[in-house]
């Protein structure tokens, strides 16, 4: 009986090995066949491309060389991947170097592709575009006489740049307008203040970040240090088109002491990175409200989304732009380069920003809040002064007063002209009361 069992076990063991070998051989054969099929398909695609290039070179009505054909094909190939990937020829590569290292005249706007249209993400405050009245969400139909349909972002940016004190005309479509608008803008050297602070009442600190340049984290730290008595903070990221990733991470790190801030995920394992918060120098107690709108993009979305996911701030305003991808510039020759999307950003909860944006906790449209007019209510001791003032008006006498405007403080009049800011203040005051209970 024992001998029979041993034979049965031995036969079963041999059968299992045989079956495993057959399965492995079959799997390997299928894998090899699949790999071979993929290689064949890739080779056929390359041959098709080469054949078409040859046909165009031989039979197209105008003379065109293979190099131009391939460059144009590469431009089309990259532009069809997404709005941010592109092939840059020698001229475009040189323009990128000027953009990164040189001095040039510009308009002060950040643009992106939205639903296939060249769209203003945001005008930077105090720049020519801002002064001319360009708004976030404006769609650019023409730059001078050139239609933007089918134009790449790089091409549009290169046309809008130029020598300082030269003019350019943009034809734009704006929501609420019956017909396109023509706006003339004078180029200038773009210099912006990325961070400035103001006070609201006796207890709220207002921080405006216009773009995430290399000075943002240091600027916010200085503002916080200069106003230690403030018990509530409003961080205004409206019309902030983004900037440096490390500054966005550093900003969140000022208010969050642990956990992920943002992660970066791509096809190549080396591009998968998680950026975490640190506890040192973190303010986790002061109530915080973040203002965003359709002009808030990229780094602004990382900051607002991360603070929202950590439940560290209440986000107020309108849905953000939705730019959450990572591009790198790869040189492919001495004077040509490839800009390629290699990864996407993900917020702490795992949600993506790309083409989705950040939805505020409380949505508030931009606009003015009308205050109810108050009737005349005069105390007896003020009656004489009031009557004298009214008589001066009747007699045409102007009262001369040297009023000094405090630019470091936001007035009640300014608050009522900005419905989003007014809502942020009301929400923050409620958080401050709750925080003190």
**Catalytic positions, written as ranges:** 298, 309, 323
Length, in residues, of the chain: 437
Partners of residue 233 on adjacent β-strands? 205, 288
- Residue bearing tokens 């403030």: 230
Phi-psi region of 126 (alpha: psi -120 to 50; beta: other; left: phi over 0): left
Q: CA end-to-end span of the chain, whole Å?
A: 81
Say which residues have a Cβ less than 8 Å from residue 390's Cβ, sequence separation at least 6: none
Residue 395 has what DSSP assignment?
A: T
Specify burial of residue 10 (Cβ count, 10 A radius: 0-12, 13-18, 19+).
exposed
Q: How many helical (H) and strand (E) elements, i.e. helices and strands, does the chain have?
A: 11, 19
In what helix (H) or strand (E) does residue 247 lie, and over which residues does it extend? Answer: helix 245-253
How far CA 63 is from CA of 5, 59, 60, 66, 69, in Å, comes to 84, 9, 7, 10, 11
Phi-psi region of 246 (alpha: psi -120 to 50; beta: other; left: phi over 0): alpha
> In 3D, which of 210, 197, 233, 205 has the Cα closest to residue 299?
210
Report strand pairing: 139-143 vs 146-147: antiparallel
Say which residues have a Cβ less than 8 Å from residue 321's Cβ, sequence separation at least 6: 112, 114, 121, 241, 294, 295, 296, 297, 298, 301, 357
Partners of residue 199 on adjacent β-strands? 205, 409
Specify burial of residue 244 (Cβ count, 10 A radius: 0-12, 13-18, 19+).
middle
Specify burial of residue 308 (Cβ count, 10 A radius: 0-12, 13-18, 19+).
buried
Tell me the C-alpha distance between 173 and 180, whole Å.
5
Strand, helix or coil at 85?
coil
């Amino acid at each position: 009986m024992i001998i029979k069992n041993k034979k049965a076990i031995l036969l079963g063991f041999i059968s299992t090995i045989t079956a495993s070998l057959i399965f492995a051989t079959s799997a390997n054969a299928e894998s090899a066949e699949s790999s071979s099929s993929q290689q064949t398909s890739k080779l056929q695609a390359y041959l098709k491309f080469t054949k078409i290039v040859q046909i165009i070179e031989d039979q197209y009505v105008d003379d065109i060389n293979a190099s131009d054909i391939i460059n144009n094909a590469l431009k089309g190939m990259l532009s069809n991947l997404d709005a941010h990937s592109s092939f840059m020829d020698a001229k475009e590569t040189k323009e990128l170097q000027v953009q990164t290292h040189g001095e040039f005249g510009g308009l002060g706007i950040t643009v992106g592709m939205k639903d296939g249209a060249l769209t203003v993400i945001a005008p930077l405050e105090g720049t020519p575009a801002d002064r001319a009245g360009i708004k976030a969400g404006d769609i650019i139909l023409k730059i001078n006489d050139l239609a933007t349909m089918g134009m790449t972002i790089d091409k549009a940016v290169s046309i809008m740049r130029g020598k300082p004190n030269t003019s350019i005309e943009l034809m734009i479509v704006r929501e609420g307008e019956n017909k396109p608008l023509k706006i003339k803008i004078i180029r200038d050297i773009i210099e912006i203040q990325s961070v400035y602070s103001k006070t609201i009442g006796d207890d709220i600190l207002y921080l405006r970040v216009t773009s995430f340049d290399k000075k943002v984290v240091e600027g916010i730290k200085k503002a916080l240090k200069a106003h230690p008595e403030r018990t509530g903070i409003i961080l205004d990221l409206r019309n902030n088109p983004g900037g440096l990733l490390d500054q966005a991470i550093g900003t969140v790190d000022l208010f969050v002491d642990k956990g992920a801030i943002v992660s970066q995920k791509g096809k190549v394992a080396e591009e998968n990175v998680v950026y975490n918060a640190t506890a040192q120098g973190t303010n986790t107690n002061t109530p915080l409200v973040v203002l965003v709108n359709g002009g808030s993009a990229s780094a602004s979305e990382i900051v607002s989304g991360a603070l929202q996911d950590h439940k560290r701030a209440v986000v107020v305003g309108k849905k953000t732009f939705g730019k959450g991808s990572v591009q790198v510039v790869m040189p492919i020759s001495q004077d040509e380069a490839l800009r390629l999307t290699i990864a996407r950003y993900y917020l702490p909860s795992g949600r993506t920003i790309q083409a989705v944006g950040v939805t505020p906790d409380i949505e508030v449209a931009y606009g003015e809040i009308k205050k109810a007019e108050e009737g005349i209510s005069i105390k007896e001791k003020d009656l004489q002064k009031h009557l004298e003032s009214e008589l001066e008006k009747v007699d045409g006498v102007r009262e001369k007063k040297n009023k000094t405007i405090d630019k470091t403080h936001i007035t009640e009049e300014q608050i009522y002209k900005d419905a989003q800011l007014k809502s942020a203040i009301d929400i923050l005051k409620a958080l401050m009361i709750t925080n003190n209970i």
